Amino acid sequence: MALLEVEDLRVAYGKIEAVKGISFRVEAGEVVTLIGTNGAGKTTTLRTLSGLLKPVTGKITFDGQVLNGVGAHKIVAMGLAHSPEGRRIFPRLSIEENLQLGAFLRRDGDAITKDIQRAYELFPILGERRKQAAGTLSGGEQQMLAMGRALMSQPKLLMLDEPSMGLSPIMMQKIMTTIRELKAQGTTILLVEQNASAALSLADHGHVMEIGKISLSGTGQELLHDESVRKAYLGED
């Protein structure tokens, strides 16, 4: 059984159906990406997996357990972490305090300290600025903090919602390199990205979402070389 299995998931905001019956799976150790245009339902999908939204129908299985009806905190404790769209760091708290909050469900103080060190190794700038208010960080640095914070729950599956949003090409490269490093260290990743070319280049599998449905699935390389994907998402004609 895959680490994450999503079967015929439907999610609605009142009468608006944002996710219209999607199915996909994420095997342990993989990077899987969801790409698609604005409003396709990518964020809605991640928020539902996190327990922040309740599906209309569909079954979500994570690490052998059904997630339907399980609360958001419990889902984090089970090993599913979410770095949300727009980062949502706590601007008045320091970098270190933000990282500590990512470990709020843990009681293993020494290991938490080690994991904070690990976040600083992954992103040295965060270590240099550890006492600084998080709101004073640049956009790219805030993205690093959001990823570092999500990792503080020691997730089996890390969900990243548009980590490259608003970043310079160099910062974006840094984030993509970090995703590769995390994968090499054994973290399974579900990556939502507008930057289809960067996401597909490093993904094992990808799914194209269009108005609430998955229109195309394949390996990262298959989608990267698919003509319809190239036209619609990679700006080629």
Ligand X SMILES: Nc1ncnc2c1ncn2[C@@H]1O[C@H](COP(=O)(O)OP(=O)(O)OP(=O)(O)O)[C@@H](O)[C@H]1O
Contacting residues toward Mg ion, per CB under 5 A: 43, 85
Q: Which residue has the tokens 């905190």?
A: 73
Note the maximum CA span of the chain. 54
Extract long-range pairs of 222-229: CB within 8 Å, 24+ residues apart.
223/35, 223/196, 224/197, 224/200, 229/196, 229/200
Burial class (CB in 10 A: 0-12, 13-18, 19+), 9: buried
191 contact choice in ligand X, Mg ion, none (CB below 5 to 8 Å, kind-dependent): none
Scanning residues 12 to 71, which ones bind ligand X (CB under 6 A)?
Answer: 13, 16, 18, 36, 38-44
Token pair, residue 188, equals: 């399974």
CB of 237 to Mg ion, least distance (A): 26
- Judge contact between 112 and 106, C-beta under 8 A: yes
Residue 21 or 79 having the CB closest to ligand X: 21
CB of 39 to Mg ion, least distance (A): 8
Q: Which of residues 66-95 bind ligand X (CB under 6 A)?
A: 85
Task: Using the minimum distance from each CB to ligand X, give the nearer residue, 16 or 170.
Answer: 16
Q: Which helix (H) or strand (E) covers residue 83, if one does? A: strand 80-83
Closest contact distance (angstroms) between CB of 41 and ligand X is 4
**Least Cβ distance, residue 179 to ligand X (angstroms):** 18
Which positions touch ligand X (CB under 6 A)?
A: 13, 16, 18, 36, 38-44, 85, 194
